[in-house]
Structure 1
């Protein structure tokens, strides 16, 4: 069982889950970038590598869409002082979405791994700054909230051993 789902069935605080999601996304991106560094990875993209990339991009997009449509609205209502922070984070989400579209376009045109790696490097730098800022500014406020983590955060971290498995809303 994943650490955010203890035997009692009570969910870990949303702020803690946000950190877990970010940790998982960081790991997935690092694995994806490392795969592009492997022998042959820089020149061609295998079907598995493309699938991993598409899955990662979809999970990240789902997370940001969930935040914008879920938890950010709730936080804006319950902690109005966070509205400027939420606006900055939502603006970051638009930049990330643009980068994800560029990665998707590279995959669709069968670009080489080096081109994809360059976009992922930029994405990794942006995400590290974004995740760190978001965690620093929102975790305490999130830990005071209750609600469905999938609805509010877009995704939950997958159970160990199931990379890129996402929990979908019903």
Structure 2
């Protein structure tokens, strides 16, 4: 009888210890998230010059009916150091700005993600436009990043479907 009591006591203690650790870990995670949110600050964000290439190609019919674009570039960005960027764009017709997403990878590997909301063409030769980029998260220190960036892009066409670009601009980022 005493053996059963000892075994049941040990099992109950083990179960209690496991559930307590899980509750403690959940509480600790909530505290960490709260500290990260409180530590977030709005900071200026600038890009003096990102240079890269782009390629247009026909849409694949499923998510992108008309036209797709891939653009990649490199440059130095505030809070990211020497960085790379990759943008994808998908349009379903001439009047559709489509879905445009961007991933910027910092020198240490952290990613900053965003999407474009507006585009205003300001010059035809060379093609120049101003657009608004909204930051909406990422990885590492940019996991909960937010912000707005106004960029100016100058495009040099090599062919109807490819060319180079230079991007610059400024805004704010909160992380």
Relative to the length of structure 2, the TM-score reads 0.23
Answer 1 or 2: which has greater strand percent.
Answer: 2
Relative to the length of structure 1, the TM-score reads 0.24
Between structure 1 and structure 2, the one with the greater Rg is 2
Answer 1 or 2: which has greater helix percent.
Answer: 1
